[in-house]
């Protein structure tokens, strides 16, 4: 068992959870009933995950990249919250909003991940 890796994941995870909460609170203050806070956290998480992966892959020690990607982004991104928001929208009969949430987060999340990898690769090349 690599205790330093587990400590790194735990530390990064706590920072990711706090960062998620703070960003969510900022977005909640700006939006209505659409779960934009989860949407923004997931997109930002995908983008930054891609940047960190591209910058660190093969350059940083694997313990560092694992702590950041598994710990920080594992706690920061919010798939369970996303699924819960979708269920609530469906239960409220807001099927259009639920489908928009599903399609938007998946399509834009994949695009944000791709953009993050490209951005990180360009930053790493400089």
Q: Where are the domains of the chain?
A: 3-125
Asked if the model's pLDDT at residue 32 lies above 80, the reply is: no
Asked if the model's pLDDT at residue 46 lies above 90, the reply is: yes
- Would you tell me the crossing angle of helices 95-125 and 36-56 to the nearest 10 degrees? 20
Nearest to 63 by CA among 1, 125, 105, 2: 2
In whole angstroms, what is the distance from residue 121 CA to residue 126 CA? 9
pLDDT band of residue 84 (cuts 50, 70, 90) is confident
Provide the whole-model pTM: 0.81
């Amino acid at each position: 068992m690599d205790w330093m890796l587990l400590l790194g994941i735990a530390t990064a995870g706590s920072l990711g959870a706090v960062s998620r909460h703070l960003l969510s609170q900022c977005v909640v203050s700006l939006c209505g009933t659409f779960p934009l806070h989860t949407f923004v956290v997931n997109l930002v998480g995908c983008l930054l995950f891609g940047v960190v992966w591209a910058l660190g892959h093969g350059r940083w020690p694997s313990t560092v990249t694992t702590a950041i990607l598994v710990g920080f982004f594992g706690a920061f991104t919010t798939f369970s919250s996303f699924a819960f928001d979708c269920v609530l929208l469906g239960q409220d009969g807001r099927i259009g909003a639920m489908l928009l949430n599903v399609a938007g987060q998946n399509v834009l999340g994949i695009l944000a991940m791709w953009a993050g990898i490209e951005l990180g690769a360009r930053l790493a090349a400089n």
